[in-house]
Every structure is written in C-alpha cells, then in structure tokens.
Amino acid sequence: MTLNFDILGGETKARLLAAFPGYSEGFVRCQPGNLLMPLFFKKDWQTYFNFQLRNEDVFILSFPKSGTTWTQEMVWLIANNCDFQGAKKLLRERVPFLEDRTLGTEDSLKMFLEMSKKESESSVSSDIIIEPNYIDALPSPRYIKSHLPLSYLPPNLVDSCKVVYVARNPKDVAVSWYFHHLLDPIMNTNLTVEEFVEFFIRDEVLYAPYWTNLIDAWNMRNHPNFLFLFYEDLKMDLPAQLQRICRFLGKEELTVDQISALAIHLKFDNFKVNPSVNAQELQEAGYFKKDGNFIRKGQIGDWKNYFGERLNSQFDEWIEKCTQGTDLKFPQ
C-alpha cells in the first residue's frame, strides 16, 4: 500500500502547534482515513504496515484511552492460564506497544533511547521506548498492542492472527485522552478540557478520526479471528466478558475461582496501584510527569463531570452524524 501524506501547514499547523507545542516538528494527515499523526510517523509507517506476523500472535487494538491497558492485562492473563506471578513483569514488556516510538519527535526519541541506556543498570526498565526489534525478538505467542487503524497494520492481520478490539463511549474517550495529554510532557496541551473535546470532534487530536478507527473494526466483528469488546460491557458484566475472551482464545472455560481471582486482580482500586501496569516506572524515568496517574478513573460516564449542555449537544450531533448508516450502538 502507498500512503499519501499531507504535511500540515498554514492555519491548521499553527492551531495544532499552539494546542500541542511539544510536537514542534509538526503533524501529518495520512490517507486513507485522514489519520492525524506526528510528522515522525511519515518515516516509520512502513515498519508497522510490513510488520512480520506469526500465526500465534494476538493483537489488542483500540483508539487510545478506550480501556486498552485493562484489556491487555485480562487478555494476557487468560491466554497464560491466570499466571499472576508472570504478570508481575511489566505489562508493556509482556504486551508491547507496536508504534511506541512514533508518538514523539525525532529529538524526543533520541533523548529517551539515551535515557534507556543510562537506566539499564538501575531499577527502572531499560526499555523506556519499545522498539520494533524488541517485539521481533519475543518468543511466540506474542501479545501486541496498537492504536493504529486496521488499514495501517499488516493487510493479512485478521486472517492470520487473533485480534481483540476494545471500544468505549467517545465522550469518555475524549476526556481520558485529554488527561493523558496532561501527563505526557511531549503531548502536553495548553487546552482546557472543553477546548480539547472540540479538537476531538474536529478530528484534530492524534489518531483521529475516532470513527474511522472504530467503524473499520466494527465491520470486522463477525470475522472468526476478531473479537469486538465494549469497555462498558467489561465494566458491567466482567465474568461473562472474561469467558468470551477465553472462548475466543481457544482456552478452557474459566473456573469460578479463576474468575474470582481475575476480578480481584482487575478491580480498579487494585489495578491503579499495580506497578506492573500503572506506568510507575515511566514516571520515575521522566517519560510521564509525576503529578498525575496513567490509570486515572476507569469510570463509565465520567464525561458528565466535564461536559456542559452545549458541548454535550454538539457531541451528540457528531455521534449521530458519524454513525449514520451503521448499526453501531454503545451499551447504555
């Protein structure tokens, strides 16, 4: 596949740089799908599109802040027979992030790779940035996370591998994505939450458009190698969803004791303080700021604390417009 890149300039570039000054190198719009990414993506996209798959690979996909980390942990644990001891290893090493290096700038990548070398003999993991060669070297079965739309991943992905996709109400996604930007020194934004949500609606945040990512996955939901999950279903009936994941992965049905142990492990209060999943090591290394939490609230409907009547009405109109012609409905 050949991608078309539009390096943004003029008023659009100025608006984005004012909102996200850490991305001083600029942004690109990528076709197909009008994907917005840092300029660095233009150099790296073939690495992801041509990534060498193995039939045993399991991919966990989502738009950012859709419950990905939670889903990664439950998929890995189910696939590994509830190996809670093994789950003490950092999640980002057990389920690495395919395009990790792309979310910064060339300068920030050099800085973090240098930090990795300095930290390699300390208590902080040396893999501050996950490079593709790290994933290449992992033994099978590999578990891999990505936020890229399906059209930017290997064309034979769904036919060759198991894919778990998790979707979340876009109102909660927008709010959570905003707070993630405040945590990340490169993504850091000057916007208020209301202003950020308006950028989200205009497809002017990283990985936008939200709907392209989601609907491409929704259209694959009946493929035998594709499991489409709603975050809200996971929150409302975790045992049933755990069994769905179990069946999809071809594992024996979970026992009552296993479900109970998973529920305790995945309970938000426990998850938030679990150092293998909460990015504590990245905060210690300076990759994230220390005055915030990577695992923030995990609630359904937290958007209600931030949306006024006007913004909510605007968002509802956007949802209705973007879901016309689909049967996509979020759980209530």
Q: Looking at residues 102-106, what average pLDDT do you find?
A: 73
Position 96 pLDDT exceeds 60: yes
What is the rounded CA–CA span in Å between residue 229 and residue 78?
15
Give the per-residue pLDDT at 274: 78
Position 70 pLDDT exceeds 50: yes
Per the prediction, the chain carries an average pLDDT of 88
CATH code of the domain in which 85 resides: 3.40.50.300
What is the rounded CA–CA span in Å between residue 158 and residue 292?
36
By residue range, what is the domain housing residue 166?
51-323
In 3D, which of 102, 96, 88 has the Cα closest to residue 130? 96
Give the per-residue pLDDT at 295: 56
Q: Is the dihedral of CA 279, 281, 282, 288 positive or negative?
A: positive
Output the six-digit token pair for 138.
Answer: 């992992």
Give the per-residue pLDDT at 218: 98
Q: What is the dihedral of CA 199, 205, 209, 214, to 10 degrees?
A: -110
Q: Read off the pLDDT of residues 263-297 as tens digits, 9 standing for 90 and up.
A: 999 988 877 777 777 555 554 455 554 454 545 56
Residue 241 forms part of a structural domain:
yes
Burial tier of 151 (Cβ tally within 10 Å: 0-12, 13-18, 19+): middle
Query: How many residues does this entry show for the chain?
Result: 332
* pLDDT top residue among 262 and 297: 262
Instruction: Kindly indicate the confidence band of residue 111, based on its pLDDT and cuts at 50, 70 and 90.
Output: low
Give the per-residue pLDDT at 183: 78
Q: Read off the pLDDT of residues 192-229 as tens digits, 9 standing for 90 and up.
A: 999 999 999 999 999 999 999 999 999 999 999 999 99
Strands (E) located in the chain: 4-7, 27-31, 35-38, 58-61, 143-146, 162-167, 226-230
Instruction: Kindly indicate the confidence band of residue 124, based on its pLDDT and cuts at 50, 70 and 90.
Output: very low
| pLDDT-wise least confident of 64-78, 87-101, 311-325 | 87-101
Give the per-residue pLDDT at 291: 55
Residue 255 forms part of a structural domain:
yes
Position 116 pLDDT exceeds 80: no
Give the per-residue pLDDT at 112: 56
Q: Which residues contact 47 (CB under 8 A, 6 or more apart)?
A: 132
Position 126 pLDDT exceeds 60: no
Give the per-residue pLDDT at 273: 77
| pLDDT-wise least confident of 86-100, 158-172, 192-206, 283-297 | 283-297
Residue 122 forms part of a structural domain:
yes
Residue 54: how many other CB atoms lie within 10 Å: 12
Residue 4 forms part of a structural domain:
no
Position 234 pLDDT exceeds 90: yes
**Is 223 noted as a catalytic residue in this protein?**
no
Maximum CA pair distance of the chain?
59
Compute CA distances 175 → 71, 178, 184, whole Å: 19, 5, 15
What is the rounded CA–CA span in Å between residue 139 and residue 150?
24
Residue 276 forms part of a structural domain:
yes
163 CA to centre of own chain: 14
Beta bridge partners of 37: 28
173 in the Ramachandran plot: left (φ > 0), alpha (ψ -120 to 50) or beta?
Answer: alpha
In 3D, which of 31, 27, 51 has the Cα closest to residue 40? 27
In 3D, which of 141, 85, 89 has the Cα closest to residue 261? 85
Count of domains observed in the chain: 1
Residue 46 forms part of a structural domain:
no
Instruction: Kindly indicate the confidence band of residue 121, based on its pLDDT and cuts at 50, 70 and 90.
Output: very low
Position 84 pLDDT exceeds 50: yes
- From 147, 181, 223, 265, the catalytic residue: 147
Instruction: Kindly indicate the confidence band of residue 115, based on its pLDDT and cuts at 50, 70 and 90.
Output: low
Q: Looking at residues 27-51, what average pLDDT do you find?
A: 95
What is the rounded CA–CA span in Å between residue 9 and residue 15?
10
Radius of gyration of the chain (CA): 19
Residue 231 forms part of a structural domain:
yes
164 CA to centre of own chain: 12
Residue 302 forms part of a structural domain:
yes
